[in-house]
Chain A
Amino acid sequence: MSAAGAVDAGARAGRLSPTALVGAVLLVAAVLASGLAPLLVASDPVKPSYSRRLAPPWGLGGTAAHPLGTDNLGRDILARLLHGGRTSLALAAASVIIAGAVGILVGLAAGSGGERLDAVLMRAADVQLAFPVIMLAIAIVAVVGTSPASLVGVLALSGWVLYARTVRASVLSIRRLEYVEAAYTLGASDLRIIGRHILPNTIAPILVIGSSQFATMVLLESGLSFLGMGIQAPRPSWGLMLAEGRDYLSNAWWLATIPGLAISLVVLGANLLGDGLRDLLDPRAG
């Protein structure tokens, strides 16, 4: 896929499958709702209000003042859900971008920097993959702390390998194509070859990986927060809300159910969009 190919891909984006469109709509809705949280809900997501603890959702015995009910400290669940979504989605997006940037650079270096560098970088990728992601993440967080910056770092660290391997593979195959060899012969520099020929060819798989990885990052961040190794109370976060809701399963099931549903819908959205992009951009796969 050259420059003309990129335009072609853009034209084909109009032909996303219905399921991929559902995924895109879910994601856009989640981003808008949590981005506009302060405008949409008036209740404070952090301040406790002990007089109205564990109110059920509206329609199940609750009131329209708290459409999704209140939690064990009487805080409005909708407000916590939307404010928590801001954190979760922002952390996931930031880590996808950083993991992508690092992975692309490593992939380019491995693919075009000679055999020795390639071997070192690919062994580093093997080392990264040898650790169960969440185990490595909690160990690092335990040492460096749970600030948003270190969370993004930990999430990004878990994600760079896939980009690196994909970019490396396409660098290695593209370098052997005749028109790239011709460009070399004509005296094009490495940077020019990378910028003009290699990167445009890898945009499609990178978009696909990025979209599915957004799902993985949301899962990982909420998993960390669920274990108490992510966003710390009283700040709202989906994983933390779920963990707090566990103690109230028998008398207030909505506490744990609602945030999990939010995570599932966002992850489902990103997965559907990722699958749709893959089918669209790489007709050979799937």
Chain B
Amino acid sequence: MKAYVLRRLWQSALTLVGVSVLVFVILRVVPGDPAKMLLPEGAPQSAVDELNRHLGLHEPLHVQYGLFLKSVFQGDFGQSFQYRAPALRVVTERLAATVQLALAALLITVLVGGSLGIVAAVRRGTRYDYASTILAVLGQSLPNFWLGIMLILLFGVALRWLPTSGFEGWRHLILPAVTLAAFPMALVARLTRSSMLEILGRDFIRTGRAKGLAERAVILRHALRNAAVPLLTVVGLQIGTLLGGAVITESVFAWPGMGKLVVDAIFFRDFPVVQTVLILSATIFVVINLLVDLLYTVIDPRIRYS
């Protein structure tokens, strides 16, 4: 158990090192002249030289990487020239909006996706099952940028029920959250259905029914609790989908989060911000999945790790 925790911590640390190497390669090695890229267009040669010296660009690559890692650890991700502020502060200021959107979408994913999957498994072969399956297939097939625009067209332009962009109050959250949730919700619905079906066929469920437990108790207390374990992994991995999906969803709904920030930053060629968003979102993903794995050992004491 302790060895398992240590191994997972070690793996996560290695993954984060890999993340920093990849970001370094993409933004510092590939462009050839990164100082020009990290500065606004038309920056004077003296500024380019100054940044070259700061980044240590005359040094060999491994020294440059060391300097890069050192500044990342010191929280120095460079200056955003679009906002004239430290890139890390620019990004963390937008993080709350993305977390809010992602949590709302996660709630829809788990509640709606889970319910659809349970109903489909319990009522297998009925029209409820088919309806849930069709919803799941559609959720995985409709591109979220199109779904978002169609929701705007229907609820914003035609019916005028909901606001289509902006960031004031929960009414603004509905359409973006539904858009962002569609894909992971479909996935969760399908996985809940198949793992519930598998567990409903097990002996202990038959025993529960035989001893006269209410069907509700059998399904919610015994079947669902066992089906929840594999689902947790999937939900953890969907954090990446939510952060990535936020890039498009936030652009469609003008939601002022990290996703919209990174798209705007790329158009302004504000690479310090791009670099910060990449490192921050990969770190969030790695940490959450580490926590999910460690949570297993608490939820399911049968799992033994060597």
Interface residues on B, range: 35 or more
Residues of B within 8 A of A200 (CB): none
Which residue from chain A places its CB closest to the CB of B23 in the assembled complex?
Answer: A139
**Which of A134, A223, A268 interacts with B141 by CB under 8 Å?**
A268
Residues of A within 8 A of B194 (CB): 286
Check B291 for interface membership: any CB of A closer than 8 A. no
Cβ < 8 Å to A, chain B residues 144-198: 144-146, 149-150, 152-153, 157, 194
Are A227 and B153 in contact, CB atoms less than 8 angstroms apart?
no
In the complex, what's the smallest C-beta–C-beta distance from B198 to chain A, in angstroms?
11
Are B26 and A139 in contact, CB atoms less than 8 angstroms apart?
yes
Q: Which of B70-78, B221-229, B274-282 contacts A (4 or more CB under 8 A)?
A: B274-282
The distance in angstroms between the C-alpha atoms of A143 and B25, with both chains bound, is: 11
The distance in angstroms between the C-alpha atoms of A88 and B253, with both chains bound, is: 25
Check B243 for interface membership: any CB of A closer than 8 A. yes
Are B15 and A130 in contact, CB atoms less than 8 angstroms apart?
yes
A142, A246, A256, A267: which has the most chain B beta carbons within 10 Å? A142
Are B149 and A246 in contact, CB atoms less than 8 angstroms apart?
yes
The distance in angstroms between the C-alpha atoms of A229 and B265, with both chains bound, is: 12
**Which of A126, A245, A246 interacts with B11 by CB under 8 Å?**
A126
Enumerate 16 A-B pairs (CB-CB under 8 Å) in ascending A order. A127-B18, A130-B18, A131-B19, A132-B245, A135-B262, A135-B277, A138-B262, A138-B266, A142-B269, A143-B37, A227-B248, A253-B157, A256-B150, A259-B146, A267-B141, A275-B137
Check B14 for interface membership: any CB of A closer than 8 A. yes
Residues of A within 8 A of B137 (CB): 268, 271-272, 275
The distance in angstroms between the C-alpha atoms of A228 and B26, with both chains bound, is: 20
Interface of B is mostly: helix
Residues of B within 8 A of A29 (CB): none
Are A264 and B146 in contact, CB atoms less than 8 angstroms apart?
yes
Interface residues on A, range: 35 or more
Are B153 and A256 in contact, CB atoms less than 8 angstroms apart?
yes
The distance in angstroms between the C-alpha atoms of A260 and B143, with both chains bound, is: 7
**Which of B140, B248, B266 interacts with A271 by CB under 8 Å?**
B140
The distance in angstroms between the C-alpha atoms of A135 and B259, with both chains bound, is: 8
**Which of B18, B27, B251 interacts with A126 by CB under 8 Å?**
B18
In the complex, what's the smallest C-beta–C-beta distance from B195 to chain A, in angstroms?
12
Are A129 and B240 in contact, CB atoms less than 8 angstroms apart?
yes
Are A139 and B274 in contact, CB atoms less than 8 angstroms apart?
yes
Which residue from chain A places its CB closest to the CB of B146 in the assembled complex?
Answer: A260
In the complex, what's the smallest C-beta–C-beta distance from A172 to chain B, in angstroms?
17
Which residue from chain A places its CB closest to the CB of B153 in the assembled complex?
Answer: A249
The distance in angstroms between the C-alpha atoms of A271 and B263, with both chains bound, is: 28
In the complex, what's the smallest C-beta–C-beta distance from A238 to chain B, in angstroms?
9
The distance in angstroms between the C-alpha atoms of A139 and B245, with both chains bound, is: 15
Residues of B within 8 A of A144 (CB): 30
Residues of B within 8 A of A139 (CB): 26-27, 262, 266, 274, 278
Are A263 and B146 in contact, CB atoms less than 8 angstroms apart?
yes
Check A147 for interface membership: any CB of B closer than 8 A. no
Which residue from chain A places its CB closest to the CB of B37 in the assembled complex?
Answer: A143
Residues of A within 8 A of B66 (CB): none
Cβ < 8 Å to A, chain B residues 114-155: 137-138, 140-146, 149-150, 152-153
Check A160 for interface membership: any CB of B closer than 8 A. no
Check A231 for interface membership: any CB of B closer than 8 A. no
Are B11 and A138 in contact, CB atoms less than 8 angstroms apart?
no
Are A223 and B248 in contact, CB atoms less than 8 angstroms apart?
yes
Check B247 for interface membership: any CB of A closer than 8 A. yes
The distance in angstroms between the C-alpha atoms of A136 and B143, with both chains bound, is: 18
Check A140 for interface membership: any CB of B closer than 8 A. yes
A143, A227, A268: which has the most chain B beta carbons within 10 Å? A143
**Which of A135, A229, A246 interacts with B278 by CB under 8 Å?**
A135
Once A142-B266, A215-B141 are accepted as A-B contacts, the answer to whether A130 and B19 lie under 8 Å apart by CB is: yes
Are B248 and A253 in contact, CB atoms less than 8 angstroms apart?
no
Q: Which 3 A-B pairs have the closest CB atoms?
A: A132-B244, A260-B146, A127-B18
Cβ < 8 Å to B, chain A residues 140-167: 140, 142-144
Q: A126-B286, A228-B267, A271-B140 are in contact. List 9 more A-B contacts (CB 8 A).
A: A127-B22, A130-B282, A131-B285, A142-B269, A143-B27, A143-B37, A227-B263, A260-B150, A271-B137
